[in-house]
Chain A
Amino acid sequence: MRSVALRRMAASLVVLWAVATGTYALVSLAPGDAASRITDPRLPAAARERWRRDFGLDRPLRARYLSWLAATVRGDMGISWQHRRPVRALLAEALPPTALLTGLGLLTETLGGLAIATWQAMRPRSRVDRALTITSLLAYAMPSFAVGMGLVWVFSYALGWLPASHMLSPTAAASGWARLGDGALHLVLPVATIGLTGMGALARYTRGSLLEEQSQGYVLAARARGCSRRRAVLTHALPNAALPLVTVLGLSLPVLVSGSLLVEVVFAWPGMGQLLLQAALARDIPLLMGGTLVGAAAVVLGNLLADVSVSLLDPRVRP
């Protein structure tokens, strides 16, 4: 058992290294570098050269890569070239908003998907079933930026009920319930966007498994004992059909760390997605690498959690 754990650890490290190295190569080989952003033609060419020297970009790629690797192994993620602040601090700022947004988004998606699927499975092939299939897939069939903008258009611009972007109002109270309420209002539209776009696929998946479970012996037996369809679905089929969802959710945990880029852009959300997009555009190598590593590390953790929770929930898998 211990050797298995060790092997998995070693494999994870190899993967982390491979992903990081791949990203490093990609961002270094892509034309342009951190100094490309100085575009003012009045500035002497020397200004750009100086930026390059400051960032160590005048050294050969191999030397840069090796010193980056050495620093990373020591746990030093360096200082962002764009923001002049430690990468660690920037990531620590961006992670909580992303985790909050995508966490609530995933929760909405799951609960909404389960609810729709259960409702449908109770009356399969009825008119309601079909209507729900189409409506739940509508948001799934649109790019998330369009869904987000549509929601903003209706609920923020036209009706004025909810704020269109950001985490807090500019005039938010410093603390207390008012601030919490303000934050909650700002969460509604982006969370709804993630929830709506994800709900459809999840509902389709669960409905399929629910129907499958309904034809299984134990459900049929329950029905034969006089259990209502509703009860049979809710108490017998649903728990079993929901089990594979745990794996699916475990696998989407990385999104908690890497964020949903488009939703963050549309709602000006200060999360990981936007941070990494800006870092890639600015060729801010320390920040991009830091973000990538944290994301990849989250995957390793996510997989572990998924494995563990499945073995806890499903007696068949338990060793």
Chain B
Amino acid sequence: MKRVCARWPALARHAGLALGLVAGLAIVGPLVCPAPDTIRDPSSTALLAPGSQRFFLLLADGSTVAAETMAPVATGWEIRRQGEVQVVSDTDVQGVESRRFWLGTDALGRDVLARLVWGARVSLALGLLALVISTLLGTLVGLAAGWAGGALDTILMRLADAVLAVPMLVLVLLLTALLRPSLGVLAVVIGSSSWMGVARLMRAQVQTLKQRDFVLGLRAIGASRTRILLRHVLPNAMTPLGQDAALRLGDLILIESSLSFLGFGVPPPTASWGSMLADGQATLGSGWWLVVFPGCLLAGTVLATALLAEGLQEKLRHFR
């Protein structure tokens, strides 16, 4: 076991660790982090730099007042907000709290850190779901084309190529117009417009395997087609597919960001890293932290998946 592990290149090990951290963040983070969509005080939605502190007074009527500074006075709390000093009487105030925004806030006063933590879950879930869908679709098409051969093969593969020729974002745009946008629909749309690579890979695998002795032997002894396909061809074709999947996960996460850039990403108020980056670029001049943090997380994750995929490839090569 140890010997096998040692064959992982260092980069891939680090990448795997990073991905594990990201996955951990996506799973555990939202449990400990406050909800990301809260706009505590809609009348004070300033863009705050990382590290800024804000005070909040929880009022009796259930609303919250944000303040830049806060000090207790005889009758209640003296607060300063947007340059004005006012006193909120003790009878109105149910409680006070202070909060530091370690990574700043966005244009609506929402905590960037909280949105990044919750966004990890959305980005990863969306990417994984799209990955599953595209892999399933691509595997089906690839298996059918590779196994059947002939006219079906030609048509299926040409179809896959031709779908590639239609600009994918245009396709997705029309699909989101047709279906009402939600996270699920988005995953389906992204997944169902990126199966072509898998199909091609799968077909190549099946074609090679079809000619291998063990498959020919199985056919000779009269094993059923489905059995050969499912029990023997598919598992053998899985390895390169797994490596490809690791690479594609990154791509799929990026596609969501591109869609957000064109306005067709995850519907608000849900945050994903991609949509945060796309929104942030529009306001780059006013807050660097809106671009830098989601950008780094996004790039880091995609980079890690690519490195992991490469590590996988290298490991497989040594294995052979």
Contacts and interface: CB of A to CB of B under 8 A. Distances in A.
Q: Do A and B come from one complex?
A: yes
Interface of A: 7-8, 11-12, 14-16, 18-19, 23, 26-27, 29-32, 125, 130, 133-134, 137-138, 140-146, 149, 153, 200-201, 204, 208, 211-212, 251, 254, 257-259, 261-262, 265, 272-273, 276-277, 280-281, 288, 292, 295-296, 298-300, 302-303
Given A15-B162, A16-B162, A32 B177 contact: yes
Contact of A280 (B164, B170, B254, B299): B170
Contacts of A200: 306
B175 interface: yes
A30 B161 contact: no
Residue with the greatest number of chain B CB neighbours at <10 A, chosen from A14, A32, A257: A14
B261 A11 contact: no
Contact of B171 (A16, A26, A133, A146): A26
B9 A303 contact: no
B19 interface: no
B228 interface: no
B310 A133 contact: yes
Contact of A141 (B154, B250, B284): B250
B12 to A, nearest CB: 10
B300 A296 contact: no
Contact of A299 (B11, B161, B254, B295): B161
15 contacts: A19-B165, A125-B9, A137-B306, A141-B306, A143-B261, A143-B277, A201-B306, A208-B310, A208-B313, A211-B314, A251-B161, A262-B258, A299-B158, A299-B161, A303-B158
Contact of B281 (A125, A145, A261): A145
Nearest to A257: B165
A145 B10 contact: no
B175 A144 contact: no
Contacts of A142: 254, 295, 298-299, 302
B151 A130 contact: no
B178 A29 contact: yes
B173 to A, nearest CB: 6
B66 to A, nearest CB: 31
Given A11-B155, A145-B261, A146-B277, 18 more contacts: A15-B159, A16-B162, A19-B159, A23-B166, A26-B175, A32-B177, A134-B11, A137-B303, A138-B299, A140-B303, A141-B254, A143-B277, A145-B278, A146-B291, A258-B165, A259-B167, A277-B170, A295-B166
Interface string B255-279: 0011001100000000000100110
Contact of B165 (A18, A153, A295): A295
B158 A300 contact: yes
Contacts of A212: 317
A141 B258 contact: no
B163 interface: yes
Contacts of B161: 15, 251, 254, 299-300, 302-303
Contacts of B258: 143-145, 262
Contacts of B10: 130
Residue with the greatest number of chain A CB neighbours at <10 A, chosen from B166, B254, B277: B166
A292 to B, nearest CB: 5
A258 to B, nearest CB: 5
Nearest to A140: B306
B173 A19 contact: no
Interface string B301-320: 11100110010011001000
B174 interface: yes
A138 B303 contact: yes
Nearest to B274: A143
B177 A30 contact: yes
A146 B262 CA distance: 13
A85 to B, nearest CB: 20
Contacts of B162: 15-16, 18-19, 296, 299-300
B174 A27 contact: yes
A145 B158 CA distance: 30
Contact of A18 (B159, B247, B307): B159
B302 A141 contact: yes
Contact of B254 (A30, A143, A276): A143
Contacts of A259: 167
A276 B159 contact: no
B169 interface: yes
A201 B174 CA distance: 29
A267 B317 CA distance: 41
Given A30-B177, A259-B167, A8 B154 contact: yes
B151 to A, nearest CB: 7
Interface string B106-122: 00000000000000000
A276 B170 CA distance: 7
A201 to B, nearest CB: 8
Closest 7 CB pairs of A and B: A141-B302, A295-B165, A15-B158, A30-B177, A141-B303, A254-B165, A11-B154
